[in-house]
Structure 1
Amino acid sequence: MTTEINSKGVSAGLIVLLVVVGVVLTFIIGNTVLYIYAQKSAPPRKKKPVSKKKMKREKLKQGVSAPGE
């Protein structure tokens, strides 16, 4: 009786496994393609401007007098 079930063809577990692996591979490949595209097309991030207060504090730490003092 077991030989009849095995000889029918591909088991349901194998089909589910193949579908899950296919979905995971599609997800990974799609994310990789989108990441590479975003790296090429997106402009580089701008740095936040340093405030005058922070600049003054840094110059005082280095021992250089801040301009205008």
Structure 2
Amino acid sequence: MASKVPPSFGRAGKVINDSGPKGFNPGLIVLLVVVGLLLIFLVGNYVLYTYAQKTLPGRKKKPISKKKLKKERLKKGVAAPGE
């Protein structure tokens, strides 16, 4: 009696065995492509950033106008020349 399997279970076992691996899931392929492109983008940006930091000269500061210099000197208590 133990060797006999009811027909409903016998068919289900065959369906499970037939549904074996048939290749990659398309969703998995899309996910891998998107993650790969994102990773390449981030690594490329990091490499370009470090290269720019090493090779490009620093930014020049804007020249301070004479009015601002005069105001700063007055705030410090130093008399501006010519006054």
Distance 1:51 1:63 in 2: 19
**Offset at residue 4 of structure 1 (A):** 4.6
State the partner residue of 1:39: 53
Distance 1:38 1:54 in 2: 33
**Offset at residue 32 of structure 1 (A):** 0.3
**Offset at residue 40 of structure 1 (A):** 0.7
Q: What TM-score results when the alignment is normalised by the length of structure 1? A: 0.89
1:20 is aligned, of 34, 40, 46, to 34
* SS of residue paired to 1:68: coil
Highest CA radius of gyration, 1 or 2?
Answer: 2
State the partner residue of 2:6: none
Which aligned pairs between 1:1-69 and structure 2 lie closer than 5 A? 4=18, 6-69=20-83
**Offset at residue 17 of structure 1 (A):** 0.6
Query: Mind listing any 5+ residue stretches in structure 1 that lack a counterpart?
Result: none
**Offset at residue 9 of structure 1 (A):** 1.7
**Offset at residue 2 of structure 1 (A):** 6.7
4+ residue segments displaced more than 3 Å: 1-6
Deviations 1:31-67 (A, max 9, x none): 0000001111111000001111110011011111011
**Offset at residue 7 of structure 1 (A):** 1.1
Aligned length: 69
